[in-house]
């Protein structure tokens, strides 16, 4: 008779019912991409085993990123997870989050029988500290880390400041200490496993998670207006300036560049939109609204360049979302990407002048024959079905951590 299996997911998710409150509290960009990835992971884990979810939501710190001095939960009820409450002031919030999470995991660690696994989403020290604490209470608990980013690359805004970088070093040292308690991991790239020193224990590589594969042909026709859409963080380091310059080379008045999101380039983009009314800035919008913009697009674009160290250790989840839509997708082939993505994307030639190279890729994507676009889409769907389904990733986690013969 197999022992009961119990999973506890420690993460920063917020429920769909709370999206409006999250946007209202945010001063800067909301972590919608991370949230969507966590929601897919939750669905996969709950299908595979008895799973509880405890969340200290990724809402940004007070006062620079959030209007919330304290996180006291949300007004709208939800049934996705249990939220922990914490002081959200920058500099002390991680201590508060860790304290609340340690209190929350005690019951899971000490109650009941069966095999127990704590899945930690993100190399975020409060999550790792709470998981390590639970393992001290119950040494039989196993810990699996899902690592979508390296800690040193979690904030890529242009202006971070000396104090941020100073405290970040302490944070990284604490993460390195707590990561020793991790038994298994799922990383986005092979380089991440090496950087986090996880290669001496079981790990799997998956650059993203999808919860379903679209069926049937995708409608890709568009009218006179040609929408070029980007949805994500509006960071200078993510190539936004190059994208705007590339768009300026497209002189057709029927073209529109729609940039959804927020970030350190927002003020610059507002000036650009005044100079060129074809540039549209909807601001921070919900995932449902993003889907509407994607549906309206002739081409989707991600201008993140392949010119910095962090590209080895990350994978833009928006590229997967774009490719699932069936719309032609323009992007750089980053160092952390599997090489097969060159067959799915309209790749920007990074060896040429970047704005002109982005412009050339946009033109190629816009003028691509329908048969070519459908072929790329079909190839990606097959790849995603074989490698990225949440159910398959959950099964990998189960196999790495639970005794199949128990």
Q: Of 404, 377, 403, 367, nearest to 140 (Cα)? A: 403
pTM of the model: 0.90
Contact 232, 302 (CB under 8 A): yes
- pLDDT, residue 31, reads 87
**Alpha-carbon gap, residue 29 to 262, rounded angstroms:** 5
Q: Residue 365 in contact with residue 231, Cβ under 8 Å?
A: no
User: Token match 């008895």: residue?
Assistant: 50
Q: Element (H or E) spanning 259, and its range?
A: strand 255-260
Chain center to CA of 230: 15
**What's 231's DSSP letter?**
E
φ, ψ (nearest 5 deg) of residue 51: -130, 130
Structural domains in the chain? 5-211+389-401 (3.40.50.2000), 226-386 (3.40.50.2000)
pLDDT at 406: 44
Kindly report, residue by residue over 160-170, the tens digit of the pLDDT.
666 666 667 77
352, two tokens? 């040429």
pLDDT given for residue 269 in this prediction: 97
The predicted structure's pLDDT at residue 162 = 61
C-beta neighbour count of 230 within 10 angstroms: 25
- C-alpha distance from residue 269 to each of 19, 290, 292, 365 (Å): 25, 19, 22, 24
pLDDT value, residue 403: 75
Residue with tokens 């080379």: 249
Residue (of 220, 52, 325, 111) closest to 345 by Cα position: 325
| Contact indicator for 172, 152 with CB cutoff of 8 Å | yes
Count of H helices and E strands in the chain? Answer: 13, 15
Crossing angle of the two packed helices 287-296 and 317-325, in degrees rounded to 10 = 50
Q: Residues in the chain with pLDDT < 50?
A: 1, 156, 158, 406
Residue 298: strand, helix, or coil: coil
* pLDDT value of position 18: 97
Q: How far is CA 391 from CA 41, 45, 49, 68, 386, in A?
A: 8, 7, 11, 35, 11
DSSP three-state, residue 204: strand
Distance of alpha carbon 77 from its chain centroid, rounded?
A: 24
What does the pLDDT read at residue 215? 81
């Amino acid at each position: 008779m197999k022992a009961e299996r119990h999973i506890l997911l420690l993460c920063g998710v917020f429920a769909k019912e709370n999206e409006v409150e999250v946007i209202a509290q945010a001063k800067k960009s909301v972590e919608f991409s991370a949230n969507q990835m966590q929601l897919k992971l939750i669905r996969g884990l709950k299908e595979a085993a008895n799973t509880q979810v405890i969340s200290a939501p990724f809402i940004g710190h007070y006062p620079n990123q959030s209007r919330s001095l304290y996180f006291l939960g949300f007004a709208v009820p939800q049934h996705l997870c249990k939220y922990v409450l914490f002081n959200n002031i920058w500099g002390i919030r991680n201590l508060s989050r860790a304290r609340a999470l340690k209190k929350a995991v005690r019951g899971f660690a000490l109650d009941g029988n069966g095999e127990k696994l704590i899945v930690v989403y993100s190399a975020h020290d409060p999550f790792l500290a709470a998981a390590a604490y639970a393992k001290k209470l119950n040494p039989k608990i196993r810990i699996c880390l899902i690592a979508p980013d390296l800690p040193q690359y979690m904030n890529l805004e242009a202006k971070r400041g000396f104090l941020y970088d100073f405290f970040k070093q302490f944070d990284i040292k604490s993460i390195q200490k707590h990561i020793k308690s991790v038994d298994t991991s799922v990383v986005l790239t092979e380089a991440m496993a090496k950087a986090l020193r996880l290669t001496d224990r079981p790990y799997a590589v998956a650059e993203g998670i999808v919860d379903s594969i679209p069926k049937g042909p995708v409608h890709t026709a568009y009218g006179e207006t040609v929408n070029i859409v980007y949805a994500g963080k509006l960071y200078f380091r993510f190539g936004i300036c190059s994208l705007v310059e590339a768009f300026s080379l497209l002189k057709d008045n029927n073209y529109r560049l729609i940039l959804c999101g927020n970030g350190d380039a927002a003020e610059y983009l507002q000036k650009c939109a005044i100079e060129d009314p074809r540039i549209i800035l909807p601001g921070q919008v919900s995932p449902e609204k993003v889907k509407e913009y994607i549906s309206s697009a002739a081409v989707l674009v991600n201008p993140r360049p392949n010119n910095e160290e962090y590209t080895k250790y990350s994978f833009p989840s928006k590229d997967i979302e774009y490719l699932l839509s069936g719309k032609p997708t323009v992007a750089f082939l980053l160092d952390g990407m599997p090489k097969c993505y060159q067959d799915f994307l309209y790749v920007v030639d990074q060896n040429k002048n970047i704005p002109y190279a982005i412009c050339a890729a946009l033109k190629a994507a816009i003028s691509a024959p329908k048969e070519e676009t459908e072929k790329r889409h079909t190839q990606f769907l097959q790849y995603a079905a074989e490698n990225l389904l949440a159910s398959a990733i959950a099964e990998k986690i189960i196999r790495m951590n639970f005794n199949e013969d128990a």
